[in-house]
Chains A and B, each alone.
Chain A
Amino acid sequence: MPSSVVNLTVNGREQEFLARPAESLLTSLRDRLGLMAAKRGCAQGSCGTCTVLVDDKPVMSCLVAVETIEAAEVRTLEGVADGERLDEVQQAFLDGFATQCGFCTAGMIMTAEALLAENPDPTHDEVVEAISGNVCRCTGYRAIVAAILDAAGRRK
């Protein structure tokens, strides 16, 4: 099968590139567009480290065939900060030290962005539910949940 031309808007910028058949969005982001924030953890949709937003919805980019989302709007962690200025979620993760090795952080922040966009004032349990698809093996999760709640407070 031939490669196909895919058009996406990634972090506000139009991108046009060739993708192999069934190439994952994650592969396109990392290997073609050089956006390395989304991590390749398990490559089978169970760890959440590759989470990005597609048309504002959080998806595991390792499971999305990029040719199926032609013309979609994609947002990755690289598109969250305003230049050098971190957004509320990033700042809350930094201030609350909600990261240790950092491998899950990009996915956690994108999941949090999606949650807060839809539900600006989540409860503790709603935060827990939102990040249930994102695995962290360092922090024990507590600092992450606290940081997301903190970010919600900062946005008010």
Chain B
Amino acid sequence: MAIDREMILQISGVNPKLCMKCGKCSGTCPAYDGMEYHPHQFVSMVENANLEPLLASESLYTCLSCMACIQRCPRQVEPAKLIEAVRLAVIRQQGCDHLLPDELPALLDPELPQQAIVTAFRKYKK
């Protein structure tokens, strides 16, 4: 099944029409400078069904899931949920995991809490 706007809306439960384009999400985002597409652009691009650039963008994996945009959005748009939905739509496809178990040993250090590994797999692998 092709990834389309409806699928993203369905997975995320977000209604991008609520957005008044104030940009507070992007004003708030702590990962902004690491992102090619910013939270407000996710909302706009999903609403406009302009998905191709998002599906191919590293920005999907840059979101910190810190929920600051969700907390501060005046109109309850919840941009982070939308970003998560696009990411899930991508990694749920066969062979599209963003993190593979084989890569893991090289990333470990003795101090690293288990939580880091668990959440990375939950975030980047299906």
Are A and B part of the same complex? no
> A residues touching B (Cβ–Cβ < 8 Å)?
none
Report B's interface with A, CB cutoff 8 A: none
